[in-house]
Structure 1
Amino acid sequence: MPMQFLKSYEPRILFFLTLLGCVVSFIGCHDAKIWVLEAAPVLLGIPFIAFYFKKFRFTPLLYRLLFLGSSMLLVGAHYTYSRVPFGLWLQRTFFLKRNHYDRIGHFFQGFVPAILAREVLLRKGVVRHGFWLSFIVVCVCLAFSAYYEVLEWWAVAFKLDNSGDFMGAQGDMYDAQWDMFLAFVGSCMALVFLSEEHDYELSQVVGIKRKQY
């Protein structure tokens, strides 16, 4: 019974934990303006998820991934990516030249949207399973990653990020290329390792067999 209750209310629990995470992340954040810029995907996603919750309920797997991705963004927003303690620990432990927490974040920038794009494309009947589904999903993730790099550029160009914390290049001239490459790797790994589980959950949520959606 407790497990059944948890499964029924898991999306709501994760939603309110994300709201709580926004509050905790903002309190004592390094820079309020940078926090807004870095937490923007979460802040924009919350009303979208709430509005479409009854009309278009996602699979449990996707809700968990969205929560994981949101949590990583909110941690980065609180400290700014170059100051996240876990990244600094990695830098000291492995003698790295920079804090690589943002690299992890960009990996998940491909990993999480891949399942989101896959779910929407399948359930809306845009494309069926096969090569073209995977190709379009990866392209969507790369487009999202590239647009995010453009946003970082605009933030500097319009002097919204005078410190460079939002861009987070940390002196790496190939930072944008690394970010997009890691998003690409993340999207591919999500498709390789999660597609089977995602198909099973789609069959449970949508109520139709794989070949039909």
Structure 2
Amino acid sequence: FSDFIYILICFHAMILMIGGHTSYAEMPLFNWIQDTFGLARNYYDRLGHFAQGFVPALIANEIIIRKKIIIRRGWRIFFIVFTILGLSAFYEFFEWWMALSTGDSTTAFLGTQGDVWDTQWDMFSCFLGSIIAILGFSKFHEKQLEKENL
């Protein structure tokens, strides 16, 4: 992978590790933001889902370019964004199935924080992350790959 992707993977790993350590609904910095601005929820979960769309979209972009899987840029963007959205939806189904199969309180397991639209917001955050990554950073990313003669 390019240095750009390795840096993004590092940031994404930090987001995942912090969320795994503190739980996405109880991240201290975002609790402070929630309290300071009188927000109804801790938004670290949304940041995590945004990153789950942003970073994998650019990883997929690099793999597809390197392997010459989809040559035309427009089709590559379409494929990546909707694949990321599909994976996000699958992950939300997986969370739901795990909550049902374990018999645990789905609110505690899923971390919905009382938001009935949490699953939809999670998928939208991931979708938005993939769109911003591809439309905002893919040209920069492609120039980085050209410097490596790919």
Partner of 1:23: none
Which of 72, 82, 85 is 1:139 aligned to?
Answer: 82
- TM score, norm. by length of structure 2: 0.92
Map 1:19-98 onto structure 2 (within 5 A). Answer: 58-98=1-41
Can you give the 5+ residue segments of structure 2 that lack an aligned partner in the other structure?
none
RMSD across aligned positions (CA) = 1.6
Q: Structure 2: how far apart are the matches of 1:150 and 1:202?
A: 35
Q: Deviations over 1:3-57 (max 9, x none)?
A: xxxxxxxxxxxxxxxxxxxxxxxxxxxxxxxxxxxxxxxxxxxxxxxxxxxxxxx
Q: How much has 1:141 moved relative to structure 2?
A: 1.0
Q: Structure 1: how far apart are the matches of 2:24 and 2:99?
A: 16
Q: Structure 2: how far apart are the matches of 1:141 and 1:161?
A: 28
Which portions of structure 1, spanning 4 or more consecutive aligned residues, are displaced by more than 6 angstroms?
none
Q: Structure 1: how far apart are the matches of 2:103 and 2:43?
A: 23
Is contact 1:112–1:190 with CA below 8 Å preserved after alignment?
Answer: yes
Identity across matched positions, percent: 41
Count of equivalent residues: 150
Max Rg structure: 1
Q: Structure 2: how far apart are the matches of 1:200 and 1:154?
A: 42
- TM score, norm. by length of structure 1: 0.66
Partner of 1:185: 128
Is contact 1:81–1:165 with CA below 8 Å preserved after alignment?
Answer: no
AA matched with 1:62: I
